[in-house]
Structure 1
Amino acid sequence: MRWRAAAVLALLAAPACTTGPNYAVPEGAAINRPAANGAFASGHDKAFAQADLPDHWWRLYGDARLDGFVAEALAANTDLRAADANLRRADEVVREVTAGRGIATSVGGGTSLIRASPPTGVNGSLPGTAFYDTAISLAYPLDLAGKIRRAIEASRDDAEAVTAARDNVRVTVAAEVARSYAAACSANLTLAANQRVLAVQRRTLDVVRRLQRGGRGTAFDVTRARTAADQSEAAIPSILATRTAALYRLATLMGRAPADYPRDVEACTTPPSLTRPLPIGDGTALLRRRPDIRAAERSLTAATAQVGVVTADLYPQVSLGGSVGLAGPVGSIGSVGNAFTLSLGPLVSWTFPNRRIVRSQIAQAGAAADAQLAQFDGSVLESLRQTETALSAYARERDRRVALGRAEADAATAADQANRLYRFGRTDFLALLTAQTALSTAEANLAASDALFIDRQVDLFRALGGGWQ
């Protein structure tokens, strides 16, 4: 019988297959489509360069303050700190699951009192003897069905998904720091434009008042001039509120209290700007770079591995175990007369599961993997949509900004001409007021476009997924 036991042991210790499917990118996945890997449909404008986006895209602005703000935010942002903690937890889960394929050790022991019953008719009780037994047991899981291997695979994929999620937070933080910094500087530009228009309108109001006193103007002219100045002045508080909100947002992103915002930004009037075409790469580079796509794929691979974890429940769980122990009377502990026990062999545990239940669980895991595949495809398509939309919005805002610049220059010329004509009595006040209103509108539109243009840049950089290594 010894050869049979040896054969069984050898069979149990032999390498076995791993249950469940091995992950491979599905042939029909959206990430494999030619249309997803070519040049961007909206990327042929002269505003763009067909070059790879650098990791630290904000350095393209050449703004030392912005570089410092981003560096501080990436070191102290609270969302990033939480993401780092989640990553540490995921790494520990991998270590925990990996430890499941190691040797398990247990130590046990106990005592017992054995006392014989007295013979019939004899009063009292016979003395008893106390015995002890101790044992150290070891068990090593053979993992013949690969359940532990699949569980380790799934935990590692989950950890990689958490890593990608952390990288995605970095993308968001860097983009929002640049956006908040630019918003504060742009608000000051808008404020300066509004104050220039207000200064012109106040000078016009003074002129109209003098003309009224000299008999060349009317009270109606004064009222209209004062109304225009009041409207421009009324826009200032909301601009200041916008600037303050941007400063508070910048401070919070950098891990500071809102009141501890960078004071030098409060007077910034030069938003960050690019001096060269924006590098965008192509679809292949985008899909390789975007952290949310990587997170979606890692979640898919983890879900695929979980199918194998559940499938392994159809097979027995086998361990190679052994134990060493001593037993004997308590009074003879340590003497050579105690009994020595030794056992070694396979430990088989098979619950004979309800196969219909396990098959249902396998089907559930498969459906979960299909859902993750759909989310993976959705992430790919959504990233392409976001990027194409951002490219188009940026290019069109660039065109709009150029046109608004021409309109502002023409409005300024017309307002100056109307002012001189009015002073010499060549036109009425309504023409002057109309020209100044047009200038005010053109100045405000150009300032708003400048701010929106930078915002569109940040949207595009964020869609391109830069900001992590």
Structure 2
Amino acid sequence: MATVSADSKEQRFISGAEIPADWWRLFRSDSLDAIVQQAMANNPTLEASEASLRQGQANLQAGYGVFFPQVGAEAEGGRQRVAPLENGLQTPGTDFNLITVSGTVSYVLDAFGGKRRAVEGLRSQADYQRYATKAAYLTLSANVVNAVIARAAYAAQVNATETLIELETEQLEATEAQVRAGTAAYANVLSVRSLIAANRALLAPLKQRISQAEHLLATLEGVLPSEAALPDIDLGSLSLPVNLPVSLPSDLVRQRPDILSAEAQLHIASANIGIATAAMFPSVSLSGTYGAGGTSFGNLSADSFRFWSFGPSITVPLFQGGSLWYGRKAAIDAYQQSLATYRQTVLSAFQQVADCLNALEHDAQSLQAQVGAQSDASAALSLLQANYRAGMVG
């Protein structure tokens, strides 16, 4: 499948072909590639996205810690005075030192999968950040290429307008000569001057758009507009990509970062349902403590000063005022919301692809018509100039 031929060129759609990561190289412009690489290296938005990705990966590694025993040590020393009357004794109180050294090992039994689903949510969050970073890369490269092409197109419009003004200036000189010879009315001079003034008025807005495109490129490159060093890229130096890869629908949903991001958010919502469900069941953990206490470091090794404990503990939520039940219901509703968002994202992706394919075809048809119009206008101008030089027309 291919577009109609326009300006001796046509674009062909290759179904199932791989989309290159450096897709902008299809324009075959070293200057364009240099601008994109500069933006990739210094863009602040991309740096923030990469930092978020590293944060998500670090949170995931931290979450894996719940699968291992938690080991801790504690040492405490102080001077105390107790009141024997608290224990029903009539003896006077005494002052003494108390030094304790202990170690604790605990392990949570994830019987209902709450911890596993929590780690699953962290993994999905890291996936979301990875796809968001990929989307940032694509968005940045697309914005840079669009700005470069727009800048080159505005410059081409400026050149065309200046050429038109030059032709109209020649026409003005001829018209003024005719007025001096008495063969034309002075109103003709005013009419041509009006055309020249109208076209000169178009130059300032076009140059302003060139400046705006240059400022946008500087921002995308992470520098101040006054510090940007942008190469001049002529619109004609950019080659129109000929072979366009078109992904199959089954591949599209695995390639587009917006779809993958929505899928990761759906996975996060699913994990939150598991976490809320596990919170409604008992929580079981094993813990053990071993240590020694005494009035000085010297007697800590005596058997009579040692203490230890070991055993399971269980926490059962009996009544929480409905907070756990409605918390789980809210998680289910959030999942339904994420599912609808995912479906809408997929539909929007297919719509954008269809719009893009149709736009390429219609742009080719428009270009074909414009090329024909430009060719006819150029031929008419050449004939008119030849007749004028021959004295056959006024």
TM-score by length of 1: 0.75
Equivalence for 1:397: 363
Q: 1:96 to 1:178 in 2, by over 3 A?
A: same
> Percent identity among equivalent residues?
24
Q: Among 1, 5, 26, which residue is 1:60 paired with?
A: 26
The answer to whether the aligner puts 1:49 opposite 2:10 as a matched pair is no
The answer to whether the aligner puts 1:360 opposite 2:326 as a matched pair is yes
Distance 1:128 1:239 in 2: 90
Cα contact 1:332–1:338 (8 A) shared by 2? no
Q: Among 227, 234, 245, which residue is 2:201 paired with?
A: 234
Cα contact 2:107–2:287 (8 A) shared by 1? yes
User: Aligned ranges for residues 338-349 of structure 1 at < 5 Å?
Assistant: 338-349=304-315
1:352-376 CA distance string (max 9 Å, x none): 2438432221111111111101111
1:57-107 CA distance string (max 9 Å, x none): 111111111111111211211110110111122122212322233333252
Equivalence for 1:369: 335
Distance 1:392 1:127 in 2: 93
The answer to whether the aligner puts 1:113 opposite 2:77 as a matched pair is no
Equivalence for 2:110: 143
Secondary structure of 2:285's match? strand
Equivalence for 1:283: 249
Equivalence for 1:171: 138
Secondary structure of 2:239's match? coil
Q: Among 246, 251, 276, which residue is 1:310 paired with?
A: 276
User: Aligned ranges for residues 147-158 of structure 1 at < 5 Å?
Assistant: 147-158=114-125
Equivalence for 1:3: none
Cα contact 2:107–2:285 (8 A) shared by 1? yes
Q: 1:318 to 1:337 in 2, by over 3 A?
A: closer
Cα contact 2:3–2:360 (8 A) shared by 1? no
Read off the aligned partner of 1:404 and give its amino acid letter. Q
Q: How far 1:129 sits from its partner (Å)?
A: 5.2
Read off the aligned partner of 2:180 and give its amino acid letter. R
Q: Among 210, 216, 219, which residue is 2:183 paired with?
A: 216
Distance 2:55 2:345 in 1: 25
Equivalence for 2:238: 272
Equivalence for 1:436: none
The answer to whether the aligner puts 1:182 opposite 2:149 as a matched pair is yes
The answer to whether the aligner puts 1:93 opposite 2:62 as a matched pair is no
Cα contact 1:73–1:255 (8 A) shared by 2? yes
Secondary structure of 2:231's match? helix
Equivalence for 1:453: none
Equivalence for 1:384: 350
Distance 1:388 1:125 in 2: 91
Secondary structure of 2:346's match? helix
Cα contact 1:115–1:129 (8 A) shared by 2? no
Equivalence for 2:224: 257
Q: 1:127 to 1:263 in 2, by over 3 A?
A: closer
Q: 1:125 to 1:383 in 2, by over 3 A?
A: closer
Distance 1:416 1:91 in 2: 67
Distance 2:84 2:245 in 1: 93
Q: What is the number of residues matched between the two proteins? A: 380
TM-score by length of 2: 0.88
Distance 2:147 2:390 in 1: 47
The answer to whether the aligner puts 1:321 opposite 2:290 as a matched pair is no
1:261-299 CA distance string (max 9 Å, x none): 33432x635352225232223222322210010000011
Secondary structure of 1:346's match? strand
Q: 1:184 to 1:134 in 2, by over 3 A?
A: same
Distance 2:292 2:386 in 1: 114
Distance 1:169 1:130 in 2: 62
Secondary structure of 1:215's match? coil
Distance 1:298 1:126 in 2: 64
Distance 2:83 2:44 in 1: 69
Secondary structure of 1:341's match? strand
Q: Name the Cα RMSD after superposition.
A: 2.5
Read off the aligned partner of 1:252 and give its amino acid letter. T
Cα contact 2:81–2:94 (8 A) shared by 1? no
Cα contact 2:282–2:316 (8 A) shared by 1? yes
Distance 2:270 2:243 in 1: 42
Q: 1:244 to 1:151 in 2, by over 3 A?
A: same
